[in-house]
Structure 1
Amino acid sequence: MEETIILLIDDEPSIVQMLRMVLQKEGFRHIDSAGTAQQALELCKQKKYDIILLDVMLPDRNGFELCPFLRETTDAPILFITAKGSDLEKLTGFAMGGDDYITKPFNPLEVVARMKAQMRRTKPYQYDNGRPSVIPNPVYHFGRFQVDERAGELLVEGKPVACPAQVYQLLLYFCKHPNQIFTKNQLYEAVWGEESMGDDNTVTVHIGRIRERIEKDPKNPEYLLTVRGLGYKLIYKEREA
């Protein structure tokens, strides 16, 4: 079975030790940790991680400030861990490049469950008797851009574009359902796997991040359109495809 490589970024040894112990019991063996932002950046330059847990309060730099720098070297899902749970904090985390948000105090098993959910969405593999085999997934062509589901890759005008996990999953969902209108609640439930509970802003932020990548002018989108009063839809332009 393919090994998952995890990075824990937290300056509290007790939390790191607890998470490491729970993760090891769940079968994860490759777990690195960093107590500062600088250490985390160095590790990400040296190694490719599959998922990152990032504490917001670090001694040398705020986790929100660190996240964009991590995004320069990795597209791995980033889960923020913080003692604050306000809507503003969550929106800040998503806007900075995060994929999920966990509030202290937390149940370590919930953390593991959220990690596994993120990895299921980002790894295009299934396992047969412990051996990974590639799932035969298609490539979605939309003229200016294309999404390769098997490679987990977004290409814009033929060039690969970095795309954080949750942004990619939302875009992939649109690609699988072109020319269909979806409400924010429908998108949240389909991509995040749970009811939105009125958390519309999360979808709005991720829609903006998709447009920044696929549109020539994100303020005047040609592909990912807003349908006033109804929701969003991704246009399949047959004449370009």
Structure 2
Amino acid sequence: MAHDSGQLTPAALPVPVAPPTGLRALVVEDEVALATVVGTYLERAGFEVALVHDGLESVARARHVDPDVVVLDLGLPRLDGIEVCRQLRTFSDAYVVMLTARADEIDTLVGLSVGADDYMTKPFSPRELIARIQAMLRRPRPSTGGGNAHSADLSPRRTFGPLTIDPAGREVWVDGSSVSLTRTEFDILAALSEYPNVVFTRTRLIAAVWGPSWVGDEHLVDVHIGHLRRKLGDDATRGIFVRTVRGVGYRMGAGR
């Protein structure tokens, strides 16, 4: 945890208490003190919080709680965070922020590959964690142009060759077959497809999908783009649906 005395003792947290948001958070962390601090920050941000210290128990608790956000440690007893996330994704579209004590890039990439939306490496600031979670929950759905967040609710379906995107229903099909995307993957695709002639830099995609206040490694975008392409049956070489514009960023492909 960060070495800030205000972050070590829940009773002394200098964080204003927000009114209840109606949102639920599940904190899965075997370090009881850290789980308590994170839970307290979330409660003060208006979340209803459940704490679990065991990977196996966390899956059952997630089914019961139906959380909007899961803060998930990578190293857990009985079932590690990777497998917990994999199982969560079979029944939940909650935002998942993975915590890891190891800065090894392979760990974070593997975590994201099973459906985590973001990750933080210990030690970290609980304030930054809450800020990231709040930024995710403020994501425009599915409008990403900086205007009215509800304007795209009336958008017609978008078609790119065999790819069809329904912004209102948050559904995607390729050749008529439904494609299951995580929230983050869908939000990236929605952002790119809303402005198909625009090249998005990583910074612009971060602002559109994670929010302008998000702070972290922008290469997170590349990881999610890779997963999105794989699920759509695309790849960087072909760029049928998602094209790489070398030295700049990404844009929609024509679908052929």
Equivalent residue for 1:55? Answer: 73
Does the aligned pair in 1 maintain the 2:179–2:232 contact within 8 Å?
A: no
1:78-101 residue CA offsets vs partner (Å, 9 max, x unmatched)? 001122234343323222321111
Equivalent residue for 1:4? Answer: 23
Does the aligned pair in 2 maintain the 1:135–1:150 contact within 8 Å?
A: no
Q: Which amino acid aligns with 2:158?
A: H
Farther-moved stretch of structure 1 (109-118 vs 60-69): 60-69
Inter-partner Cα distance in structure 2 for 1:217 and 1:205: 12
Equivalent residue for 1:208? Answer: 226
Farther-moved stretch of structure 1 (14-23 vs 135-144): 135-144
Shift in Å, 1:200: 5.8
Equivalent residue for 2:83? Answer: 65
Q: Which amino acid aligns with 1:222?
A: I
Pairs aligned (count): 230
Q: In structure 2, do the counterparts of structure 1 residues 188 and 145 end up closer, same or farther at CA, with 3 Å as the change threshold? A: same
SS at match of 2:115: coil
SS at match of 1:121: coil
Mapping for residues 71-220 of structure 1, pairs under 5 Å = 71-121=89-139, 137=153, 138-142=155-159, 143-158=161-176, 160-193=178-211, 199=217, 201-215=219-233, 220=238
Inter-partner Cα distance in structure 2 for 1:153 and 1:122: 16
TM norm structure 1: 0.78
Does the aligned pair in 2 maintain the 1:10–1:36 contact within 8 Å?
A: yes
SS at match of 2:71: strand
Does the aligned pair in 2 maintain the 1:53–1:80 contact within 8 Å?
A: yes
Inter-partner Cα distance in structure 2 for 1:198 and 1:79: 13
Shift in Å, 1:35: 1.8
Does the aligned pair in 2 maintain the 1:99–1:166 contact within 8 Å?
A: yes
Q: Which consecutive unaligned segments of at least 5 residues does structure 1 have? A: 125-132
Inter-partner Cα distance in structure 2 for 1:34 and 1:88: 25
Farther-moved stretch of structure 1 (144-153 vs 59-68): 144-153
Q: Which has the higher strand share?
A: 1
Equivalent residue for 2:57? Answer: 39
Q: In structure 2, do the counterparts of structure 1 residues 76 and 147 end up closer, same or farther at CA, with 3 Å as the change threshold? A: farther
Identity %: 30
Shift in Å, 1:68: 1.7
Shift in Å, 1:191: 3.1
Does the aligned pair in 2 maintain the 1:225–1:232 contact within 8 Å?
A: yes
Inter-partner Cα distance in structure 1 for 2:50 and 2:150: 27
Q: Which consecutive unaligned segments of at least 5 residues does structure 2 have? A: 1-19, 143-148
Farther-moved stretch of structure 1 (146-155 vs 10-19): 146-155
Inter-partner Cα distance in structure 2 for 1:94 and 1:216: 18
Shift in Å, 1:218: 8.0
Q: Which amino acid aligns with 1:71?
A: R
Equivalent residue for 1:129? Answer: none
Shift in Å, 1:46: 3.7
Does the aligned pair in 2 maintain the 1:185–1:196 contact within 8 Å?
A: no
1:30-53 residue CA offsets vs partner (Å, 9 max, x unmatched)? x22222221122223344321110
Does the aligned pair in 1 maintain the 2:139–2:211 contact within 8 Å?
A: no
Shift in Å, 1:189: 4.6
